[in-house]
């Protein structure tokens, strides 16, 4: 939620900051702004709406400076407007600030500052940071940032410039991500790596309450007690191209198409690569309960995993919980509980809180994360990385698919350690997983068919997704994907549940997407479909079973055959493509759906 960037160096900061913001726009896109040094003080340009509007404004009136800060916003306090956009300055326009996070005690601070004469311009919590910094500033910006940080409660990643210090940019973070990039042409702060990848792959990850002082050709780190800290940069292996659209109309389509490769990379990392040693290290027999917790699509991956873990490990207690619920429910867990947290960003506030809650009760934690160096990755007891590369589209696709892979492989490894899986069975399951990338690629041969069918589905007011067992788990993901990017009302139901209420909603103008990949339950699923067809609803059937005569009344998409446990990895590709093309046919902004942001760093 909100992306920040800052640059200090030898080149014009304006295009560098705007380019960086384009890579961060997935974090928020209701307004954007930039601050540089002008002739008579800060030159601040802010604009409600997409970044393109700010870009246009800057192109109409080009400016130049060698240091600046920029921001793309997802509103929390105060509506999206020019005034509420960042950067914010204090009443004297002496200090400019960009902020990602929430200042929880902003009301108290604002009241105190107003009593001392500060005049607030916006309704944001963030402005309090700039006002407070001006109030404390006595000529030493580092000292000021320390005092400000000590007064703030809540979460923040901050980029701060002072009018008196034209060659210093300062950054600090707490509970929100911030990276520092060092390049030949200057130094950067950013909310995420893709914003600076074009310039450098040498990245420092800031820890909470660490402060960075950036100059044109140096970067220094300090603790909150002003003690110098020595840090080592990490080399990022993601290429700059991986954060570009590469000729596709949307990042989402590009990311869907990348799945054979990233699934293959993730399998390799867990079977022969860096993730293997970590998976092997986990002594699962020491635990009597597994809890999987996450948000949104990552939670849906957890629901799939619950079925796979139950089937393979026969563990007596496996729970899957929404992280936003888990964190406050006073869960019955202890040091015999193994908690798995799933997250693309590694920065989702609820998932981080769930991890901290689990750790405080003595549980062991494993994070399955895509973004290297993120908070979950650093704080969990164990961390394995999905090899999805940067995911830019707000709706997750490739990160979800790679999460499934690591979860399957964990389940197999755990089952084998628990003595529930013979070697031969383990090898057979591994072969099934190894075959997935090719099977996913084979689905792409039918893209035209899916696209054509999606184009006639744009008019539906409601689309339901049904399935039994593991098909139900993936139905949840299909429904979420559709509603978030196409804005069509959608719900997912366990096939057997329809008749307990939801069937009353079925009529001629509804579509039911039915998944039927569980061989054991195929006939039961077909009975559910009969009930749907009798209510004159239309049906899209996705199944690995051969088409029967009766199916001629339905739109049928055949999945490649294979072990049903791993069928979600195949059916989800069709569900992603279906949602994508429905939204594309409606002409929607697929990569940036309304009201959403990719990284949900607030509650």
* Residues in touch with ligand F6R (CB under 6 A): 295-298, 343-345, 348, 351, 395-396, 480, 484, 599-600
Closest CB 124 distance from ligand F6R, rounded Å: 23
DSSP secondary structure letter of residue 572: H
CB 88 within 8 A of CB 19: no
Phi, psi values for residue 408, rounded to 5°: -60, -45
| Per-residue tokens: 94 | 């002496």
Please give the structure tokens belonging to residue 259: 């799945």
Q: How far is the CB of 334 from ligand F6R (least distance, A)?
A: 25
Min dist. Cβ of residue 401 to ligand F6R (A): 12
CA geometry: angle at 292 spanning 410 and 154, to 5°? 125
Q: Which residue, 6 or 194, has its beta carbon nearer to ligand F6R?
A: 194
Q: Which is nearer to ligand F6R, 466 or 485 (CB)?
A: 485
Shortest reach from residue 91's CB to ligand F6R, in Å: 37
Residue 60 C-beta: closest distance to ligand F6R, Å: 35
Residue 169: which H helix or E strand, with range? strand 169-174
> Angle at which helices 127-136 and 106-115 pack, to 10 degrees?
50
444: three-class secondary structure by DSSP: helix
Minimum CB distance to ligand F6R smaller for 133 or for 253: 253
Provide, rounded to whole angstroms, the least separation between the CB of residue 378 and ligand F6R.
15
Q: Which residues contact 601 (CB under 8 A, 6 or more apart)?
A: 1, 100, 101, 155, 175, 176, 177, 347, 348, 349
Nearer to ligand F6R, 300 or 517 (CB): 300
Q: Specify the residue for token string 């689905």.
A: 443
Closest to ligand F6R by CB, 296 or 562 = 296
Which is nearer to ligand F6R, 252 or 539 (by Cβ)?
252
SS3 assignment for 32-54: EEEEEEECCEEEEEEEECCHHHH
28 or 495: whose CB is closer to ligand F6R? 28
Cβ pair 179, 192 in contact under 8 A: yes
* CB-based contacts of 258, cutoff 8 Å, min separation 6: 388, 389, 398
- Across 112-133, b (16+ Cβ under 10 Å) vs e yields ebeeeebebebebbbbbbbbbb
Q: Shortest gap between Cβ of 250 and ligand F6R (angstroms)?
A: 14
- Encoding tokens for residue 204? 């420092």
Judged by beta carbon, residue 256 or residue 498, the one nearer ligand F6R is: 256
For Cα atoms 371, 431, 317, give the angle at the middle one, nearest 5 degrees.
Answer: 65
Contact 71, 101 (CB under 8 A): no
Q: Which residues pair with 322 in a beta bridge?
A: 294
CA-CA distance, 277 to 269, in Å (whole number)?
10
- Show which residues are catalytic: 2, 598
User: Where are the strands (E) in 19-127, listed by range?
Assistant: 31-38, 41-48, 67-73, 88-89, 95-103
Of the pair 157, 295, the CB lying nearest ligand F6R is at 295
The answer to whether 292 and 318 are in contact (CB under 8 A) is yes
Looking at the Cβ atoms of 328 and 428, the one nearer to ligand F6R is 328
Cβ-based nearer residue to ligand F6R, 355 or 429? 355
Provide, rounded to whole angstroms, the least separation between the CB of residue 368 and ligand F6R. 9
> For residue 187, how far is the Cα from the chain centroid?
26
Q: Given the DSSP bridges, would you call strands 489-494 and 31-38 parallel, antiparallel or unpaired?
A: unpaired
- Indicate the length of the chain as a whole number: 603
How far apart are the C-alpha atoms of 19 and 5, rounded to whole Å?
10
CB 455 → ligand F6R: shortest distance, Å? 22
Closest by CA to 159, choosing from 349, 348, 20, 31, is: 20
Residue partners of 485: CB distance under 8 A and separation at least 6: 252, 395, 579, 580, 583, 588, 590, 593
- Residue 297 Cβ vs ligand F6R, minimum distance, rounded to whole Å: 3
Give residue 416's Cα distance to chain centre: 31
Residue keyed to tokens 């899957």: 320
Tokens of 371: 């973004």
User: CA–CA separation, 542 vs 558, rounded Å?
Assistant: 6
């Amino acid at each position: 939620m909100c992306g920040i960037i800052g640059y200090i160096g030898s080149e014009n900061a304006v295009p560098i900051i705007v380019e960086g913001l384009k890579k961060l726009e997935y974090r928020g896109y209701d307004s954007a702004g930039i601050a540089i040094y002008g002739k008579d003080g800060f030159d601040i340009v802010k604009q409600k709406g997409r970044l393109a509007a700010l870009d246009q404004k800057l192109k109409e009136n080009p400016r130049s400076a060698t240091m600046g800060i920029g921001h793309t916003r997802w509103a929390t306090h105060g509506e999206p407007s020019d005034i509420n956009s960042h950067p914010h300055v204090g009443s004297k326009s002496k200090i400019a600030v960009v902020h990602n996070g929430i200042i929880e005690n902003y009301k108290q601070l604002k009241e105190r500052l107003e009593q001392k004469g500060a005049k607030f311009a916006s309704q944001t919590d963030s402005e309090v940071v700039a006002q407070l910094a001006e109030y404390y500033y006595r000529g030493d910006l580092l000292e000021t940032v320390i005092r400000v940080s000590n007064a703030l409660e809540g979460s923040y990643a901050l980029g701060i410039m002072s009018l008196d210090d034209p060659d210093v940019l300062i950054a600090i973070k707490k509970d929100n991500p911030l990276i520092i990039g060092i390049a030949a042409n200057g130094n950067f702060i950013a909310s995420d790596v893709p914003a600076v990848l074009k310039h450098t792959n040498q990245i420092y990850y800031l820890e909470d309450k660490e402060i960075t002082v950036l100059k044109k050709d140096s970067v220094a780190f300090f603790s909150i007690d002003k003690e110098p800290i020595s840090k080592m940069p990490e080399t990022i292996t993601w290429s700059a191209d991986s954060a570009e659209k590469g000729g596709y109309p949307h990042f989402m389509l590009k990311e869907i198409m990348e799945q054979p490769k990233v699934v293959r990379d993730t399998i390799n990392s867990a079977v022969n690569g860096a993730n293997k040693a970590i998976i092997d290290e986990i002594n699962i027999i020491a635990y009597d309960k597994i809890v999987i917790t996450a948000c949104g699509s990552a939670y849906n991956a957890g629901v799939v995993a619950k079925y796979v873990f139950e089937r393979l490990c026969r563990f007596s207690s496996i729970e899957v919980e929404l992280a936003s619920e888990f964190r406050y429910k006073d869960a019955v867990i202890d040091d015999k509980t193994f908690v798995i947290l799933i997250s693309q960003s590694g920065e989702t506030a609820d998932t981080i809180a769930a991890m901290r809650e689990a750790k405080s009760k003595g549980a062991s934690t494993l994070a399955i994360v895509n973004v290297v160096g993120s908070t979950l990755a650093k704080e969990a007891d164990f961390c394995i990385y999905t090899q999805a590369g940067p995911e830019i589209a707000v709706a997750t696709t490739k990160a979800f698919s790679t999460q499934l892979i690591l979860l399957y492989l964990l389940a197999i490894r755990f089952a084998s350690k628990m003595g529930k899986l013979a070697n031969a069975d383990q090898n057979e399951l591994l072969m099934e997983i190894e075959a997935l990338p090719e099977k996913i690629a084979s689905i792409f041969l039918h893209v035209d068919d899916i696209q054509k069918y999606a184009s006639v589905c744009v008019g539906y007011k409601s689309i339901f997704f049904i399935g039994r067992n593991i098909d139900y788990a993936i139905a949840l993901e299909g429904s979420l994907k559709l509603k978030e990017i196409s804005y069509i009302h959608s719900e997912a139901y366990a096939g057997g549940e329809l008749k307990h209420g939801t069937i009353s909603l079925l009529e001629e103008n509804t579509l039911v997407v039915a998944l039927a990949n569980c061989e054991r339950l195929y006939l039961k699923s077909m009975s559910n479909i009969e009930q749907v067809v009798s209510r004159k609803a239309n049906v899209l059937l996705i199944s690995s079973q051969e088409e029967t005569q009766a199916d001629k009344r339905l739109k049928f998409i055949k999945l490649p055959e294979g072990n049903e446990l791993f069928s979600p990895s195949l059916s989800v590709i069709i569900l992603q493509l279906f949602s994508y093309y429905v939204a594309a046919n409606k002409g929607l902004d697929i990569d940036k759906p309304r009201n959403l942001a990719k990284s949900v760093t607030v509650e």
